Amino acid sequence: MTEANASTGSAEFDENRYLTVEHLTVAYNGRPALEDVTFAVPHGTQVAVVGPNGAGKSTLFKALVGLLPPRSGRIRLHGAVPGGQADPIAYVPQREEVDWAFPVTVREVVMMGRYGRLGWLRRPRATDREVVGRCLRELGLADLADRGLGELSGGQQQRVFLARALAQEPHVLLLDEPFTGVDVAAREGLLALLGRLRERRITVLASTHDMETAAKRFELVALLNRRLVAFGPPAEVFTPGHVAQAFGGQALFLDGMVVVDQCCPGHVGDGEAHRHSHDPGEDRLPHALPR
């Protein structure tokens, strides 16, 4: 795994083969959401981004895709500033902020993923329709292609936005909590898709609360809590020291096991009792990691 070691600065580091983030600091609503984050993702690998709520996972993705300006630091894809049609980064947010009552079909939503490649006056061409058709089939949406977006279930809608991201033919795919609130069948479908993307050498960064999936199904893990606590293969990242640093008072070290409660943002490091309410959509079971 020499490519993974390159993140520590070995002589084989060739910037053109990586997505690099250097000393990235991003503020959100005036507060620092990410501080001095540095890592390099080799082209084609899949990274799980893990951390407590409020750790800056979504902020990282938004900064990568240009939705949030960095206060300092830089981002490079294949050595150049990302953006432009040549090497798109596609981002699938956890919850889309779209107009659900808008008159648009599934096929049309996926076609919008092609708009970045079409100039201001261009109409979609045969290649675009072909790519859209392929992405619809890949996500099992072929039968729903001409239905209105608002007619679909939540899970189906999620697949539509995933198809749209794939229609961009991205070099890097950012998935914000794709496993959250998703049933087992959908989860397995998503993991199968990630497997196919690995074969196609598409770099994937997926944020998740599911640390077991992160440890077992991803080659690299980025453990975040505003700062980058650790980055590397799961075995190197998921050590008691790192977990304690990232999750603070939310992590309990039992004999042979670490239990982490991931429900609450903003309580890292203080052992005090606190009151909180649970958003019904949030995962509130503690996760157990074998040591």
Partner 1 sequence: MTHWLTDPFTFAFMQRALVASLVVGVACAVIGTFVVLRAMAFLGDALAHAVLPGVAVAYLLDANLLLGGLVAAVVVAAGVGLVSRRGVVKEDTAIGILFAAALALGVLLMSTVHSYAVDLTHILFGNVLGVSSADLWLTGGLAAGVVAVVVLFFKEFQVAAFDPVLAHMLGKRPELVRFVLLVLLALTVVVSLQTVGVALVTALLVTPPATAYLLTRRLASMMLLSAVLGAAASVAGLYLSYYLDVASGAAVVLCATAAFALAWLFAPRRGLLAQRFAARRGRA
Q: In Å, what is the CA distance from 85 to each residue of 40, 129, 169? A: 22, 18, 10
- Tokens found for residue 160: 């539509």
Q: How far is the CB of 40 from partner 1 (least distance, A)?
A: 23
Q: How far is the CB of 22 from partner 1 (least distance, A)?
A: 22
Q: How far is the CB of 180 from partner 1 (least distance, A)?
A: 19
Exposure string for 206-225, b = 16+ CB within 10 A, e = fewer: bbbbbbebbbebbbbbbbbb
111 or 139, CB closer to partner 1?
111
Number of Cβ within a 10 Å radius of residue 151: 11
If you search the block for the tokens 């990302």, which residue do you land on?
Answer: 82
Q: How far is the CB of 158 from partner 1 (least distance, A)?
A: 15
120 or 153, CB closer to partner 1?
120
Q: How far is the CB of 104 from partner 1 (least distance, A)?
A: 6
164 or 227, CB closer to partner 1?
164
- Tokens found for residue 138: 């890949």
Could you give phi then psi for residue 216, rounded to 5 degrees? -95, -30
3-state secondary structure of 138: helix
Please, which residues have CB within 8 angstroms of residue 230's CB and are 6 or more apart in sequence? Answer: 221, 222, 223, 236, 237, 239, 242, 246
> Does residue 263 contact residue 52 with C-beta atoms inside 8 Å?
no
124 or 233, CB closer to partner 1?
124
21 or 92, CB closer to partner 1?
92
Residues that bind partner 1 (CB under 8 A): 65-67, 83-84, 91, 93, 96-99, 102-105, 108-109, 112, 115-116, 118, 120-121, 123-124, 148, 164
